Amino acid sequence: MGPSADESLEFIRQLRMLNQLQNAVRMRFWDDEFGLHPAAGALLADVVARGECRVSDLAEHRVVDTSVVSRQIAQLQKVGLVDRRPSPSDGRVALISPTERGVEVLAGWKRRQAELIRGAFADWDDERLAATNGVLRELVATLRATLEA
């Protein structure tokens, strides 16, 4: 039977609110030293987490067009946070990897964001937050699978 239309729409509203809050957190701690859009920080986090990867892999993971990721990668490369090199197996493909500076900058951003979350959820224990994270991971996986089908 599945959820009702009303509950489905409420779910979308809550996702929208989470997205707005995520953007507010990102903007609060965004270090504009590089003149980058805050979305570039999220992309840098993906590059650091994945290690060397192709632009197309990043775009697929982020569920966006490759051109969007290419533009953001060019900005990150310009300020020295990522490197780009041709793939040894196919010179038409660029491989992206974080620079040491990129890893350091990302660590600073993450540290400030973690401090905010720790303060906001100070009355929660790790078990409660881990359970919430588990539900969020399941939601993401379910929605991703539906979008990719």
* CATH code of 70's domain: 1.10.10.10
Rounded Cα distance between 55 and 73, Å, is 8
Give the pLDDT confidence of 97-141 residue by residue, as tens digits. 999 999 999 998 888 889 999 999 999 999 999 999 999 999 999
Q: Judge contact between 47 and 98, C-beta under 8 A.
A: yes
**Which H or E run includes 126?**
helix 126-148
Which one, of 54, 86, 101, lies nearest residue 73 by Cα?
Answer: 54
Give the residue numbers spanning the domain of 48. 5-148
Give the pLDDT confidence of 13-69 residue by residue, as tens digits. 999 999 999 888 777 776 667 778 778 888 999 999 999 999 999 999 888 899 999
Strands 82-86 vs 94-98: parallel, antiparallel or unpaired? antiparallel
The number of domains in the chain is 1
pLDDT-derived band at 89, boundaries 50, 70, 90: confident
Rounded Cα distance between 18 and 82, Å, is 28
